Structure 1
Amino acid sequence: MPWKTMDVREQRVRFVVAALRRERSLSSLCREFGISRPTGRLWVERYRAGGVEAIAERSRRPLHSPQQTAPEVEGRVIELRLRYPDWGARKLQVLLEQCGTRLPASTIHRILLRHQLVRPEDRHRPAPRRFERAAPNELWQMDFKGPKSWHQPIGPLSILDDHSRYVIALEAVGSTQAEPVRVRLEHAFQECGLPEAMLMDHGVPWWSWAGPQAATTGLALWLIKQGIRLCWSGIGHPQTQGKVERFHGALERALTRRGLRGHAPQQWLDRYRWEHNHLRPHEALGMQTPASRWRPSERRYDPNPPRWQYPEGAWVLKVDCQGKLEIADTKWRIGRALAGEWVQILPVEQRLQVYYCNTLIRELDPAIQRSTIVERWIPAQNPRP
């Protein structure tokens, strides 16, 4: 995988693991990852200080804003906005200049945002640049639609190909329980093959916040066993799954304006899925249909995949029936979903990284007796013993 297409935290974890285990010189690693030596040293220092959590992408917003607009000037902007609520920043800029106050339109807009004086339709402009995977089946997005305009408390389950916007599945599951979702996924895999990766939110049944079992569900582990990389959207950032969210918006409008028209719910969804894939031109695809850009995956589904083979000589342990690992007379909670499974332990200085198959799921710090959940699971490239 090219580094530029890799998740930021994934890139940093791989870098510090290689650097701290001295797999190559720092200079060669920095060249390979496309970063400077000072940046490489900074990542290593942050990891040593706080582990995986410490090397996450940090906000670039300054702690202090010494040049922030004076309160009295902000007051004039707010007063004008309330007087002319349909005027935007550029129009207000002209009026302010006539009163002797010079402000960039961008500054005026930020003031309006701070005081919640911008309507939603003014905020959400079309993105100037669209991001998509280079080929079909590199990434599938999966989510449940909300219940609005739907006859059940749980909306339909949608699985959508990131590259082509092709809807792999659109199912009235009626439940977020793991088993019915797994059945639908098996049908999709049998019909369309396996994706390289899947993107979901932090919701059931593929994610759990239930105490020590957080982040580890049976459905997620089943997907990992199929060799599928799991990706997670940012918490509180549904735009990460923008394509499936936009599809749900179009689906909701269709339900509101058309209704079911006497069709059974699943029959209506099947007809709409065919229409979306084969008939409806998509602006983001140059007015092509999703079906014209999509093809089945060559990776075939195996209902009984062979046991994962860890690298020869790796430190491998079995999770006990309570979902715990015993290391040096200390028991660590890993998650009941992993009970009976084998995991690899990778020492990185004083910390221990826990991999299930090829995915980093936990980081243990024996010095302070802390077990950290890796909320955005990171696939490894054959972590070395």
Structure 2
Amino acid sequence: MAWRTMEVADQRIRFVVAASRGESSLTELCKEFEISRPTGYLWLKRYRAGGVSGVAELSRRPHRSPERTAESIERRIAELRRERPDWGARKLAVLLGQEGIAIPAATVHRVLLRQGLVRLEDRHRPALRRFEREHPNQLWQMDHKSPKGWNQSVGPLSIVDDASRYVIALDGLGTTRGEAVQQRLEAAFITCGMPEAMLMDHGIPWWNGQSAGGWTQLSIWLMQLGIRLYFSGIRHPQTQGKVERFHGALEMARRRRGLPEPELRQAWLDAFRHEYNHLRPHEALGMKTPASRWHKSNKPYDPNPPAWQYPTDAVVQCLEPSGQLKLDGRRWQVCGPLAGQPVQLVRIEQRVLVFYRSTLLRELDLASQGSAMAEP
């Protein structure tokens, strides 16, 4: 599930929880969540029918396409493209208009895609809407670059601020061990302050596909610091667009400038990070530099954060040493790395939502005796 989609689902789940607990009237809750009453009723209906997965954003793609472009027009578009292979959809739409065929450029582009007439480098159209944070330090994106060309098992670790594109850290750790990454993150938190949230992919050391829920000691440490975690869609790196774009610039520099000897590699990375942040203008920032848009976070790093306080009326239970939860006469696997930690149980009819701090870990279905991981 892409991080932006998870934000939508997260909002809806919190609405359902608040409504089930009777914290406020439905009218007041709808006003608080900035939705209409019919929308609120719809979210509740979807949750009752399908649980957490039922409130996720549904595809708006129509089941049928009654207005699909006529075959004769599609053939003409293909003919023009072959006559002028270097012309894009906008230019071809002008030609079609001169022939009396009024058709939007977006439709021409879709026809070219269906016909296999779009070059690989032109296949991804620029997004009409950028999903990004408004202010620095609301979200940091983190990833390891591909090791190709770096003569190491893993490429540099990059941390990029979503709003400003400022590179918080760029380090050739040479490893994906959680301890090494945590040490580098601590240094970043001390220097730059704390972000509100972080976005990563489903890779080590912040994700473990072999463990229940996928959580690792590193991701739990980040949650304990009060950072909300999001994970990009599996095999969809575009949801980490800022850090991927930075990696593209870094790869271009590696190819054209070359890398120094291994002992000088970190100095080379430091120089590139300074250039990228302070000297290189960025088109998405109106040709401003990332450093001109970024500022240190107002939230300082606290290595010993205070204990989390669940609501006074919350149902709280500690996980067993195996990471299991004993409930209704059976044991449910929740999260091994959280063994012994207190979790909050929110019961909604025949389902139980298991939260660690503010993060939903798992959904238990008491009726079917099944459980589902709450995919972050």
**What TM-score, normalized by structure 1, do the two folds share?**
0.88
Distance across 2 between alignment mates of 1:51 and 1:5: 16
List aligned pairs for 1:93-104, cutoff 5 A: 93=93, 103-104=103-104
Amino acid at match of 2:122: D
1:56 match: secondary structure: coil
- Residue in structure 1 matched with residue 229 of structure 2 by the alignment: 230
Residues 165/88 of structure 1: CA separation in 2 closer, same or farther (3 Å cut) = closer
Amino acid at match of 2:254: L
List runs of 5+ in structure 1 lacking aligned partners.
Answer: 377-385
8 Å CA contact 2:89–2:105 kept in 1: the answer is yes
Distance across 1 between alignment mates of 2:134 and 2:97: 48
Residue 105 of structure 1: how far off its partner (Å): 3.4
Residue 76 of structure 1: how far off its partner (Å): 4.1
- Residue in structure 2 matched with residue 253 of structure 1 by the alignment: 252
Residue 247 of structure 1: how far off its partner (Å): 0.8
List aligned pairs for 1:277-288, cutoff 5 A: 277-288=277-288
Residue 96 of structure 1: how far off its partner (Å): 5.2
8 Å CA contact 2:159–2:167 kept in 1: the answer is yes
1:51 match: secondary structure: helix
Residues 298/232 of structure 1: CA separation in 2 closer, same or farther (3 Å cut) = same
Which stretch shows the higher mean deviation, 360-369 or 98-107? 98-107
List aligned pairs for 1:189-268, cutoff 5 A: 189-210=189-210, 213-262=212-261, 264-268=264-268
Taking only the aligned residue pairs, the percentage that are identical comes to: 60
- Residue in structure 1 matched with residue 84 of structure 2 by the alignment: 84
Number of paired residues? 372
8 Å CA contact 2:89–2:109 kept in 1: the answer is yes
Residue 269 of structure 1: how far off its partner (Å): 0.8
Residue 168 of structure 1: how far off its partner (Å): 1.2
Residue 83 of structure 1: how far off its partner (Å): 4.3
Distance across 1 between alignment mates of 2:250 and 2:165: 13
- Residue in structure 1 matched with residue 52 of structure 2 by the alignment: 52
List aligned pairs for 1:100-111, cutoff 5 A: 103-111=103-111
- Residue in structure 1 matched with residue 61 of structure 2 by the alignment: 61
Residue 196 of structure 1: how far off its partner (Å): 1.3
Distance across 1 between alignment mates of 2:178 and 2:25: 45
Which stretch shows the higher mean deviation, 336-345 or 85-94? 85-94
Which stretch shows the higher mean deviation, 128-137 or 348-357? 128-137
Q: Does 1:371 align with 2:374?
A: no
Distance across 2 between alignment mates of 1:322 and 1:116: 52
8 Å CA contact 2:213–2:362 kept in 1: the answer is no
Which stretch shows the higher mean deviation, 305-314 or 58-67? 305-314
- Residue in structure 2 matched with residue 379 of structure 1 by the alignment: none
- Residue in structure 2 matched with residue 330 of structure 1 by the alignment: 330
* Cα shift readout 1:296-323 (whole Å, capped 9, x = no counterpart): 2232223333332222232111111222
Which stretch shows the higher mean deviation, 343-352 or 13-22? 13-22
Distance across 1 between alignment mates of 2:125 and 2:89: 15
Distance across 2 between alignment mates of 1:166 and 1:81: 40
8 Å CA contact 2:171–2:266 kept in 1: the answer is yes
Amino acid at match of 1:23: E
Residues 125/99 of structure 1: CA separation in 2 closer, same or farther (3 Å cut) = closer
8 Å CA contact 2:93–2:108 kept in 1: the answer is yes
Amino acid at match of 2:239: T
8 Å CA contact 1:148–1:252 kept in 2: the answer is no
- Residue in structure 1 matched with residue 74 of structure 2 by the alignment: 74
Distance across 2 between alignment mates of 1:119 and 1:159: 32
Distance across 1 between alignment mates of 2:61 and 2:32: 29
* Cα shift readout 1:256-305 (whole Å, capped 9, x = no counterpart): 11112446221211121122222223333333332333232232223333
2:375 match: secondary structure: strand
List aligned pairs for 1:301-380, cutoff 5 A: 301-376=301-376
List runs of 5+ in structure 2 lacking aligned partners.
Answer: none
1:7 match: secondary structure: helix
- Residue in structure 1 matched with residue 300 of structure 2 by the alignment: 300
Residue 252 of structure 1: how far off its partner (Å): 0.7
1:344 match: secondary structure: strand
Distance across 2 between alignment mates of 1:128 and 1:369: 44
1:364 match: secondary structure: strand
**What TM-score, normalized by structure 2, do the two folds share?**
0.90
8 Å CA contact 2:140–2:162 kept in 1: the answer is yes
Distance across 2 between alignment mates of 1:105 and 1:297: 43
- Residue in structure 2 matched with residue 382 of structure 1 by the alignment: none
Residue 163 of structure 1: how far off its partner (Å): 2.5
Amino acid at match of 1:21: R
Residues 95/296 of structure 1: CA separation in 2 closer, same or farther (3 Å cut) = closer
- Residue in structure 2 matched with residue 179 of structure 1 by the alignment: 179
- Residue in structure 1 matched with residue 24 of structure 2 by the alignment: 24
2:57 match: secondary structure: coil
Which stretch shows the higher mean deviation, 146-155 or 192-201? 146-155
Distance across 2 between alignment mates of 1:100 and 1:136: 49
- Residue in structure 2 matched with residue 43 of structure 1 by the alignment: 43
Distance across 2 between alignment mates of 1:104 and 1:166: 37
Distance across 2 between alignment mates of 1:311 and 1:96: 64
Distance across 2 between alignment mates of 1:297 and 1:97: 53
Residues 329/90 of structure 1: CA separation in 2 closer, same or farther (3 Å cut) = same
* Cα shift readout 1:184-203 (whole Å, capped 9, x = no counterpart): 11121222221111111222
Residues 96/290 of structure 1: CA separation in 2 closer, same or farther (3 Å cut) = closer
Amino acid at match of 2:106: S
